[in-house]
Structure 1
Amino acid sequence: MKIRSLIWKTGCAVVIGVICSISPSLGQASLPSSSSDTPTPPGPPIVFPSSPLGVLCDRLTNTICIPSTPTRSSIGDLDDKITKDVCAYAKCSPPSPVTFAFVQDAIQKSAQVTDSATALVYPNVFPDRIEILIVPSSGKEIRKVVPNVQSSEVTETVQEFLNSLRDSSNDDYLPLSQKLYNWIIRPIDEDLQSEGIKTLIFVMDSPLRSIPISALHDGNKFVVQKYATATIPSMGLVNLQLRDRRRSSILVMGLTQAQQGFTALPNVEVETKVIAARILQGNLFLNQDFTIDNLKKQQSKNNYGIVHLATHAQFLSDNIDGAFIQFWNERLSLNDLRSIRLGEEPIEMLTLSACETAVGKNLGLSGVALVYKSKSVLASLWTVSDAGTTPLMLSFYSYYPTSKSKAIAIQQAQLDLLEGKVRVESGQIKGVGNLPAIPLSQVTGNINLKHPYFWASFVLVGNWL
């Protein structure tokens, strides 16, 4: 069997921003952001005592847990299984399984390049438990078991969590956020702290692929306040080439008018003009100029470092054939993207802020990354209005050129919204870098961007460097 080697080269950056225009609740949420005003979850804290078997006991109900020993599947076997699941959706040929040495090398080099101690985390959901495999920068393998957790309860909790996040007028999501934290992060908290970890890279099992890990809450802080995060389809599929920071020119394209049953996106014009002319330098094409042929022409002609498409998209199908991106007068299926060449260099990043982005069993986001042969995908997990999306996008791009990693760039952008640095007041976006206030279209009031409905809607998938 051919052993994979880690390639560290330079590449270009491609970003596609896909935005929906609907009107979800933009109410003023009273969101806790510090220990002084965060509700404490009911009951005593969960304690995970040490044991010879490394077993975790859930003391929440003061009951004794049934001992469970971690499955001893190798990291190569576990990663290969996930790789095959993704390729079944994306219609790709699975690569050779990765080795533990490959994973160790990748995580260690990631820590060196980003100056951020990194850990790879595999949460694996079984019918009666959750198993967690961790590979930190130190290279040692850590295994944990969370017993007495039914897979059906995990699926139900994830769905309830996502549903509650869609209402920005309250903090009903908090108990569910803390419950998921107790399952996925708290069992490894002590290990992460002892290793000094600052960046977490997740290879999620199917029931967990649609959660915004940054919005999980420990009862005091959100994950984003402690870690930069990203999700990868698998180590076998991730492309870890380094980006060339000198290539920051951007091709920006988008749709502002109603088209083929989709509503208008008035703030796409605001977003794209600011990105192309005031944050980065590039060319802008909207509406009639937003065609598949023009995308290919412009990228072939200039080989931009970054490409940003702001439009509608749909990912509701259980297979890749039903997914598409809306252009001016046509829809580009993700399956057809195999035939599109977007420049000589590998695509660095694809950002999709889509109205209907199903990312559960069908592996939508991971499949998109594969189809585009992109190294990274930044995409939304739920519907967000274009007015709510624009502040996060502008903040992210303001950090992108200088942040030590993409994961850190999105973390910084999310913190800006959560902590109130970037805000919408009287219909204007304020606090993005050194930019003056930016007027939004068709918005006159305030929007409370501190709610995770706004800042946690985007997840980074793929290359986090």
Structure 2
Amino acid sequence: MVNRSTTFIAILLMTILLAISPARCDTSDKTRILADLISSPTRAQARVKANQSAFSELALDLIVYRWAARSSTMPIDVKGIDEIIPSLASELNDKVINWALGSFSISKDNTVHAVLPPKDDPRVQQLTEFNRQYGIAGEFRESSPIQAVTALTTALDICQKLRLELSEALVRTLLGDHYFYDMARYVQAEDCYSHAVAIFSAYDCDESAAILSDDYGALCTDMSRYTAATENYSLAARQWLQLAKQNSGVSRYRAMAGQEYMKAGEAQSAANDPEKALQLMTSGLDQLRAAANMTKSYTNLIRNLIKVADVYKGQGNTNKALELLQAARKACALTDDLLLQAQVCDGFVDTYTATNQLTKAADESARRDKFLKDAAGTAEVAIVTLTNSTALSHDSQTTLGLAVEQGAAALRSLQNYSESASLWEKMADVYKRSALVDQQIRCLRSLAEVLDLQHKPQESLAARFEATNLAIKANKKALAADVARDMAQALIDIGDLNNALDALSELAPIIAQSGNVRGAAWAQETRGTLLATHNHFEDAISDLQEARTRYYTQVGDPWAASAVSLKLALAQEGAGKLQEARDTLESGLKDIEGRYSRQNVDPNTNPERTKLMQNLYEELTSVYIRSGAKDSAKDLVLNAKRYQWVGDLVARLKKSSNSDIAAFASSIDLASGQSDPGTILDTPNRQALLAQNWAEFAAKCQTLREQHPTRYNALRINPLEIYKSRNELPKKTLIIEYLTNSSSTYVFLCGNGISKIWELNVSSRDIDALTAKLRKTIKSCEESLSAGVPIPRINDWREPAFLEIQEPLSTLYKQLLAPLAADLSSYQMLMFALPDELAGIPMHALITSGPNEPPRFLIQDYEVGYLGEGMLGDLINKDSRSIDSSTDRLAIFADPAGNLPGARSEASLLEKLYFTSVSYVGPRATVANFVRECDKASILHIAAHYNVNPNPGKFVIKLAPDGDSDGEITVEEVTAITNPHLQLVVLSTCESAASTDPITSGPSCAAEVFSLAGAKSVLGGLWKVSDASASKLMGDFYRTLCRGKTRTNSLRSAQIEMIEGKEFAHPFYWACFALYGNPW
């Protein structure tokens, strides 16, 4: 499957959440029930008995969710929840639910706690622990994010055990907020948000989904994934607009939609697409204008009019900018915010200056100063009132306090720093008397900034020190770390390096307690940088190495890590460690150039990253020259020709004080040299061994998870799960899993006696090209077959019909398996876990022989199977067994539509081979018989048409109609199977029509559906083949299987028989079939 952001099973789980065990209900049941109850809460009485487990889970979920949401920043996003809960509780008459109504009550009436819990129900203990952990998380929400995360993680586990899905989504939201906003742990935040938004969407909690889309957009913005940020912000805007249409009288929804469009525009602007950015911002202004007219509050609209005017000015469209500023001024007439009016004047000043209308600019400047002075005058009156009055209401104090803070800000803008500082100091005292700690800290920080402008470092330091102590005493560790960071930066800015080093040393434990990994990395980076400026190189190297490791493995930001690499290399050079400096620079440059750029903007369009790239190139070139590696230096500079700044790089090298470097630069001819993006640094056309034991394997997996979060998390099996099961891996069996990215492909090899990670020099783009060619060939074969023109028998392997498919099968082997041949040679079974880019590729059909030799396919040398999501246990489970034809019941469903004569022949053959079989052929192959057999059969053989679609709701097996049934078996019915003895499902006939994208919908999809239903393995087709060839292969497969051979061995024998039999030797006929899950 190429270019799909989510696997089939991920879509399945994320859209209808089929985390099903036989004794539990389907999430889709609960979403339907809730939708029904929202429309009519009284319907609970009529439906409870039909699905009591679903109603019970839903009732508990709603009770806990409502209680938890009430103390969070998220809305209670279920309509009529207060009516639905008592209706459900009344009908269910469940003692735990009645007890939970009291324990998770949102009422202040203590009488609701009268119901005692049953002692023997495990749900009580779990819910009690959830209550406790959620309370701990709330207590430490601001003071210690790490402790809050620990508590929420426990609460999340309880939600999953009890299947409280709305509560789970809420907890994941809070976890994601901590990971992102407090701790800058992007990988974990992304995982939390993606799961939460899927659950909220499934339950039609549109407001919650919109809030999470905004958070997701902010996350992408922080990681410089601007296009993704635009998509998420735009999605949030559309979600808010949908709510606005449903609730036309609610202004907030339009205001939120407008704000999201503004954010989307800013993200698109950062992605270097100003035209689309302005379109999005214009949409935002339309919604903000509508909201302002509804509420008669214009502050938000005015600020955004100023913002968009500035964007138009930057694009040279000053007429449009002036038009928007005039609209802002008109709106200002409806407010009394003097600072806002001054900001509008600033916009006019800048625009008139840009068009050389200096008189008008001067008039606007004078007008701005008048607004600022008026604000300052108002503040002087307000501070006197606040200082002298003792009986002010809370609202009056808030209004006067805002006036003073605006006046202090106005004085700062007027550069009257002394009076501004005086107001901030007085206001801090007012808040101190009122015990308003947050406001006091805010004023002290603003005071320190003004004192910095007055060049009063000691006073500034004292203000920040007081603010830090206040935050620590109030147990606001994150805020304390933020203020302490300001303090350290201020010391650096004024050149007080010794005190700055001391402050950074003291800052590290404060930040560590706050849980802010990025902040801790910054402290170490800054301290290392200062140590290097004092020539304390060894200490600097230690700090910088630790900072770089944090950025890589805990923050997941290769750009920040590479920026530290540059500083680290300079420190290593200062310590005389030139080779270490070279290694550091090569590693840093490779990471950002070859692996991370695809998730971010092109370095050519980002000034900061452009500068970093150029500095890395310049420093590495200099190190190459100084270490005598002139050829490496030349290759590096020529490789930089892909960048716009290469000329500037050479010019800077020519100005080097080192004569050798300057002479080298003068010898470079950019016009004649050729850059080769594929040979950058140490990435030649070969493989690199990254791990060769389990300890290295686990460490490298963690690094890859941090560096490539989206692709790693999309893997069918988490390699770390294989690591955990390393002692249970079967002998002679090798698990092979691939992770692709924009510059290379990682291969995880795991077996009894082997644990390696290889990096192959083949990019996802290379793989896409090869698989596209293979799909095109298979599509052509499908169309030919559908038109009644079969693929001819193979009499000579040089025939054009075979050569067309030979190329991609041979090249895929060379790229993905040939470099690993030595590791594969000692194993007899290969189990592939394929990523989206390779899912559905018939790895067993890859050609291992040379171009001038008769083809030899991988299946001729190995047994081959596949593992989908959740199937690792089927491979390593000690209870896994082979098929026993004497005891395992075989249920056959064949030719329900009456157009598959080969299927009827299969059924007849299987009845003879298996005495324990039962056959349903033609009109007897009904849904009713299928459901009945699903409860007792060990093997289900389905020789009927089926459809697999990326949308799990469209998974259908087409059986014979019967009575009220149309004969279709859907995903809901399949996943409702409760047979723990179901060993094997065989889908003999493939899709009923040629697929639009062959090898993207096949047994890899069907296997994961049946795996959820408990099937240990699934054998099916990757594309549509002929009835005759499928029947032949099935006959050979079952003959070998009934002789006691393993499933993969039986399939291998059948496929080799077809290869050697000539008539169906073309890979199109036999490579279609693949076995997923238990190979035994």
TM-score when normalising by structure 2 = 0.30
- CA 1:121–1:404: 2 relative to 1, 3 Å: same
Q: What's 1:157 paired with?
A: 770
- Distance of 1:416 and 1:400 partners within structure 2: 14
2:971 is the alignment partner of 1:334: yes
Q: For 2:1011, give the aligned amino acid.
A: L
- Which one has a larger percent helix, Structure 1 or Structure 2? 2
2:1055 is the alignment partner of 1:414: yes
Q: How far has the Cα of 1:401 moved from its partner?
A: 2.7
Q: For 2:832, give the aligned amino acid.
A: F
Picking from 953, 958, 966, the partner of 1:321 is: 953
- Counterpart mapping for 1:35-434 below 5 A: 66-68=681-683, 70=690, 72-74=700-702, 85=714, 98=721, 100-102=723-725, 104-107=726-729, 110-111=730-731, 117-138=732-753, 140-147=754-761, 149-165=762-778, 167=781, 168-169=791-792, 170-171=801-802, 172-193=804-825, 196-219=826-849, 220-234=855-869, 237-239=872-874, 240=877, 241-243=880-882, 245=884, 246-257=886-897, 264-278=899-913, 281-300=916-935, 303-316=936-949, 318-329=950-961, 330-341=967-978, 343=979, 345-352=980-987, 353-355=989-991, 360=1000, 364-420=1005-1061
Contact kept, 8 Å, 1:77 with 1:97, in 2: the verdict is no
Gaps of 5+ in 2: 1-152, 155-586, 588-675, 692-699, 782-790, 793-800, 850-854, 962-966
SS at match of 1:346: coil
Contact kept, 8 Å, 2:844 with 2:858, in 1: the verdict is yes
Instruction: Select between 360-369 and 347-356 the one with higher mean Cα deviation.
Output: 360-369
Q: How far has the Cα of 1:163 moved from its partner?
A: 3.1
- CA 1:208–1:66: 2 relative to 1, 3 Å: farther
**CA displacement 1:100-128 (0-9 Å, x = unmatched):** 141x2332xx32xxxxx111111211111
- Which one has a larger percent strand, Structure 1 or Structure 2? 1
Q: What's 2:355 paired with?
A: none
SS at match of 1:347: coil
**CA displacement 1:319-356 (0-9 Å, x = unmatched):** 21111100101211123322233x4x332111223216
- CA 1:155–1:366: 2 relative to 1, 3 Å: farther
Q: What's 1:434 paired with?
A: none
Q: For 2:1076, give the aligned amino acid.
A: V
SS at match of 1:173: helix
Q: How far has the Cα of 1:400 moved from its partner?
A: 1.1
Contact kept, 8 Å, 1:95 with 1:237, in 2: the verdict is no
- Distance of 2:738 and 2:718 partners within structure 1: 22
SS at match of 2:738: strand
SS at match of 2:1025: coil
- Distance of 1:282 and 1:210 partners within structure 2: 31
TM-score when normalising by structure 1 = 0.68
Contact kept, 8 Å, 1:419 with 1:450, in 2: the verdict is yes
- Distance of 2:822 and 2:870 partners within structure 1: 24
Contact kept, 8 Å, 1:162 with 1:211, in 2: the verdict is no
Q: For 1:392, give the aligned amino acid.
A: L
Contact kept, 8 Å, 1:403 with 1:409, in 2: the verdict is no
Q: How far has the Cα of 1:402 moved from its partner?
A: 3.2
| Equivalences, count | 353
SS at match of 1:208: coil
- Distance of 1:381 and 1:398 partners within structure 2: 22
- Distance of 1:265 and 1:277 partners within structure 2: 19
- CA 1:416–1:132: 2 relative to 1, 3 Å: same
- Distance of 1:289 and 1:395 partners within structure 2: 25
Q: What's 1:9 paired with?
A: none
SS at match of 2:942: strand
- Distance of 2:712 and 2:744 partners within structure 1: 22
**CA displacement 1:415-463 (0-9 Å, x = unmatched):** 111112xx7xxxxxxxxxxxxxxxxxxxxxxxx1111111111011111
- Distance of 2:866 and 2:1055 partners within structure 1: 16
Contact kept, 8 Å, 2:715 with 2:739, in 1: the verdict is no
Q: Kindly, what percent of the aligned residue pairs are identical?
A: 17
- Distance of 1:381 and 1:121 partners within structure 2: 20
Q: How far has the Cα of 1:210 moved from its partner?
A: 1.1
SS at match of 2:856: coil
Q: What's 1:450 paired with?
A: 1065
> Which structure has the higher relative contact order (CA within 8 Å, separation 6+)?
1
- Distance of 1:84 and 1:335 partners within structure 2: 26
Contact kept, 8 Å, 1:256 with 1:268, in 2: the verdict is no
Contact kept, 8 Å, 2:890 with 2:939, in 1: the verdict is yes
- Distance of 1:369 and 1:106 partners within structure 2: 24
Q: For 1:336, give the aligned amino acid.
A: E
Q: For 1:242, give the aligned amino acid.
A: R
SS at match of 1:207: coil
- Distance of 1:401 and 1:173 partners within structure 2: 33
The structure with more radius of gyration:
2
- CA 1:412–1:141: 2 relative to 1, 3 Å: same
Contact kept, 8 Å, 2:974 with 2:1010, in 1: the verdict is no
Q: For 2:766, give the aligned amino acid.
A: E
